Amino acid sequence: MSYSYQITSFEQYKEAYRKSIENPEQFWGEIADQFTWHQKWDKVLDWNFTEPKVEWFKGGKLNITENCIDRHLATRGEDPAIIWEPNNPEERTRIVTYNRLHKRVCQVAQMLTNLGVKKGDRVCIYMGMIPELTYAVLGCARIGAIHSVIFGGFSAQSIADRVYDAQAEYIITCDGAYRGNKDIPLKGVIDDALIGNRTVKKVIVYTRTRTPVSMIKGRDVWWEDEMEHAETQIEKDGVVHFPAASMDAEDPLFILYTSGSTGKPKGVVHTIGGYMIWTNYTFINVFQYQPGQVHFCTADIGWITGHSYIVYGPLSAGATTVLFEGVPTWPDAGRFWEIVDKHKVNIMYTAPTAIRSLMGFGLNYVKDKNLSSLKVLGTVGEPINEEAWHWYHQNIGKEKCPIVDTWWQTETGGTLISNLAGVTPQKPAHATLPMPGVQPQLVDENGNVIEGNGVSGNLCITHPWPGMLRTTYGDHERCRTTYFATYPGKYFTGDGCLRDNDGNYRITGRVDDVLNVSGHRIGTAELENALNMHSGVVESAIVGYPHDLKGQGIYAYVIYEGHHHDENLTRQDIIQTVSRIIGPIAKPDKIQFVKGLPKTRSGKIMRRILRKIAEGETENLGDTSTLLDPGVVDEIKNGAL
């Protein structure tokens, strides 16, 4: 397979961009023609951003797993689809060929069918980073079930919320997961999440760590048993077959929960056709993937980056994708580079937070590794600081690998703004130019469009692209108010952005109440809700502050009532509470006990002041005259951590 729509020069980029804006339907229709469809679409695009309604390739029938697997079998059936690197480097690597992936996905599809899963049913997946997770995801897609992967760092309560919101009747999990020197009891967490639950019909349990687990009669089944049975059903005379469900391009493919500025996480819904084309197109163009290359995305499949650039983008392109079970610092801080060396990785895609953390361990872990296979480096998830960019460029890329700084979001499905590796100009710490089909716009607080270069504003997108979210599960109104109501007629990203004198975009970070901690999105409202669940917490306010490794750290101001003999113990109790409610990823870094919070007379917390204090600023706190009780500010300043 060669990629007819791979852009290979800056001129071609400009040409593709122009065409994509002048005639989006023709542009994306021609690309969509390169995929496997059961039936052609009625119309390429139908949309308005008022409802909002976005439909790409509606009426077209396809199955994404045929595009990710079956269509590659004739030419590259024995090529590796997945290279799995276990947590423990002593354990055997597993190479999953496209033929093997096909068989396993068919088996899962059969297993799910046997257990009663039907088209449109929601299946929650809570597993470690093992090949079976990929089989589970694609097995759902094969029968048209909607998967919702939940990251392993979420608590039982978070799982229960998601299972409820998605009205999921099926769960796929593992006994446990290995991460570094930890053994995480996934099934135990699922059991806690399901206490009192009456809607989940089946829990499928894959054995990874051989941790003892409870198995409830009639509900819990072993993956291994079910898969063995399924195998005898799908294989006849050595030929594997399980018909792929014929889905509409606009049928949902998955739900992925993500934090926002208000309340509980929302289920971002992506549909099949547009998401497939977007992840494929951006994968091939941003990374400039060449057939045969090895692609290593270090994200977890529990996040959108793993969905798009470990699973769907690479596999739809017939690529070899590395799946790593462990963590970058175990057994030592050289693990990523060891993997690059061992598997001759050509493209490495990771988060700035990982780069900063590995930088801190020094070059000893890099210098004995052979990194000469690397051709392209990438970053995602948060703004990259120039120091980390240069470290990555010099020590990992040896100054010969372009770095793509890919800006995107769970809601966008795949990259919207990025340079194309070695094809369009790169600029440290700048995402640079929009992908074909992406029409960015900067607006001020009042929604006035900011034209020209050398300006900054809030980043909106004015026209649909195939990979964008379609709704938030079960609550379309929430989708409208969150993304399409702030600036009517536009998709609002929640990010602030600069456009430099050459028209390059630089994302500066969230302008709403969402934190980005180690590249993970956490809403301050969700965090405050969790903190306020602690019996002694009367009120709390969360702000972010600059953190050397995490990008942003979580700073909590807490009004506490009740006896605490020992402040540090109380802090630990609060951290435990947050960990229970959301998960270990949401633990506050600093907790300051205060007597009051700075509020306006209408009762609104003035976060601007709290943010400044958390950042270490004590002088220029701005106008405090509108505060109900200006005295609290001094008290907070004096107690700052």
Of 534, 532, 555, nearest in space to 613 by CA: 555
What distance in Å separates the CA atoms of residue 237 and residue 178, rounded to the nearest whole number? 37
- Parallel, antiparallel, or unpaired: how do β-strands 505-510 and 491-499 relate? antiparallel
Stretch that binds ligand WTA, among 131-139, 219-227, 432-440, 506-514 (CB under 6 A): 506-514
- With b meaning 16 or more CB within 10 Å and e meaning fewer, what string describes 299-332? bbbbbbbbbbbbbbbbbbbbbbbbbbbbbbbbee
Residue 258, interface with ligand WTA (CB under 6 A)? Answer: yes
Residue 165, interface with ligand WTA (CB under 6 A)? Answer: no
DSSP-assigned beta bridge partners for residue 417: 407, 434
| Minimum distance from residue 348 beta carbon to ligand WTA (Å) | 15
- Parallel, antiparallel, or unpaired: how do β-strands 590-593 and 551-560 relate? parallel
Q: Which is nearer to ligand WTA, 245 or 438 (CB)?
A: 438
- Name 593's Cβ contacts closer than 8 Å, sequence gap at least 6: 558, 559, 560, 567, 570, 639
Provide the CA 527 distance to its chain's centre, in angstroms: 19
Q: Which is nearer to ligand WTA, 464 or 494 (CB)?
A: 494
Q: Which is nearer to ligand WTA, 326 or 383 (CB)?
A: 383
Which of 129, 253, 438, 507 is the binder for ligand WTA (CB under 6 A)? 507
Q: Which is nearer to ligand WTA, 203 or 507 (CB)?
A: 507
| Minimum distance from residue 68 beta carbon to ligand WTA (Å) | 20
- Name 152's Cβ contacts closer than 8 Å, sequence gap at least 6: 126, 127, 128, 177, 179, 184, 186, 300, 302
Residue 293, interface with ligand WTA (CB under 6 A)? Answer: no
| Minimum distance from residue 283 beta carbon to ligand WTA (Å) | 13
Which of 139, 252, 314, 381 is the binder for ligand WTA (CB under 6 A)? 381
What distance in Å separates the CA atoms of residue 209 and residue 286, rounded to the nearest whole number? 37
Q: Which is nearer to ligand WTA, 258 or 293 (CB)?
A: 258
Residue 382, interface with ligand WTA (CB under 6 A)? Answer: yes
| Per-residue mark of binding to ligand WTA, 117-136 (x: CB under 6 A) | --------------------
Q: Which is nearer to ligand WTA, 100 or 147 (CB)?
A: 147
φ, ψ dihedrals at 195, nearest 5°: -60, 125
Which of 204, 304, 575, 636 is the binder for ligand WTA (CB under 6 A)? 304
| Minimum distance from residue 433 beta carbon to ligand WTA (Å) | 13
Return left, alpha or beta for 300; rule: phi > 0 is left, psi -120 to 50 is alpha, else beta: beta
φ, ψ dihedrals at 332, nearest 5°: -150, 180
Q: Which is nearer to ligand WTA, 65 or 493 (CB)?
A: 493
Q: Which is nearer to ligand WTA, 521 or 534 (CB)?
A: 521
What distance in Å separates the CA atoms of residue 379 and residue 286, rounded to the nearest whole number? 11
| Per-residue mark of binding to ligand WTA, 383-412 (x: CB under 6 A) | x---------------------xxxxxx--
Residue 260, interface with ligand WTA (CB under 6 A)? Answer: no
| Per-residue mark of binding to ligand WTA, 474-493 (x: CB under 6 A) | -------------------x
H and E: helices and strands count for the chain: 21, 33
From the number of C-beta atoms within 10 Å of its C-beta (0-12, 13-18, 19+), residue 74 rates as exposed
Residue type, 469: L
The size of the interface with ligand WTA (CB under 6 A), counted in residues, is: 23
φ, ψ dihedrals at 469, nearest 5°: -60, 155
Which of 375, 521, 534, 607 is the binder for ligand WTA (CB under 6 A)? 521
| Minimum distance from residue 434 beta carbon to ligand WTA (Å) | 13
| Minimum distance from residue 438 beta carbon to ligand WTA (Å) | 14
Which of 466, 494, 523, 583 is the binder for ligand WTA (CB under 6 A)? 494
Residue 588, interface with ligand WTA (CB under 6 A)? Answer: no
| Minimum distance from residue 430 beta carbon to ligand WTA (Å) | 9
Enumerate residues 403-462 that contact ligand WTA by CB under 6 A: 405-410, 431
Enumerate residues 65-104 that contact ligand WTA by CB under 6 A: none
- Name 434's Cβ contacts closer than 8 Å, sequence gap at least 6: 17, 416, 417, 440, 505
Query: Are 421 and 287 contacting, i.e. CB atoms less than 8 angstroms apart?
Result: yes
| Minimum distance from residue 307 beta carbon to ligand WTA (Å) | 10
Of 70, 374, 381, nearest in space to 243 by CA: 70
| Minimum distance from residue 116 beta carbon to ligand WTA (Å) | 33
Q: Which is nearer to ligand WTA, 139 or 381 (CB)?
A: 381
Which of 220, 495, 513, 526 is the binder for ligand WTA (CB under 6 A)? 495
| Minimum distance from residue 244 beta carbon to ligand WTA (Å) | 28
Residue type, 610: L
- With b meaning 16 or more CB within 10 Å and e meaning fewer, what string describes 9-32? eeeebeebbeebeeebeebbbebb
Q: Which is nearer to ligand WTA, 305 or 350 (CB)?
A: 305
Residue 632, interface with ligand WTA (CB under 6 A)? Answer: no
What distance in Å separates the CA atoms of residue 503 and residue 194, rounded to the nearest whole number? 51
Which tokens sit at 548? 């050397």
Residue nearest ligand WTA by beta-carbon distance: 410
- Name 68's Cβ contacts closer than 8 Å, sequence gap at least 6: 138, 311, 312, 315, 316
Q: Which is nearer to ligand WTA, 135 or 309 (CB)?
A: 309
Stretch that binds ligand WTA, among 178-186, 339-347, 374-382, 537-545 (CB under 6 A): 374-382
Enumerate residues 226-255 that contact ligand WTA by CB under 6 A: none
Stretch that binds ligand WTA, among 119-127, 302-310, 549-557, 565-573 (CB under 6 A): 302-310
Residue type, 305: T
Which of 113, 155, 305, 570 is the binder for ligand WTA (CB under 6 A)? 305
| Minimum distance from residue 507 beta carbon to ligand WTA (Å) | 4
Q: Which is nearer to ligand WTA, 27 or 408 (CB)?
A: 408
Residue 287, interface with ligand WTA (CB under 6 A)? Answer: no
Hey, CA dihedral for 111, 114, 115, 120, is it positive or negative?
A: positive
What distance in Å separates the CA atoms of residue 540 and residue 478, rounded to the nearest whole number? 25
Which tokens sit at 194? 């399901």
| Minimum distance from residue 325 beta carbon to ligand WTA (Å) | 21
Q: Which is nearer to ligand WTA, 98 or 491 (CB)?
A: 491
Q: Give start and end residues of each alpha helix (H) in 325-471.
A: 335-343, 352-359, 364-367, 386-391
φ, ψ dihedrals at 297, nearest 5°: -105, 125
The contact set with ligand WTA (CB under 6 A) reads 258, 303-305, 380-383, 405-410, 431, 493-495, 507, 509-510, 516, 521
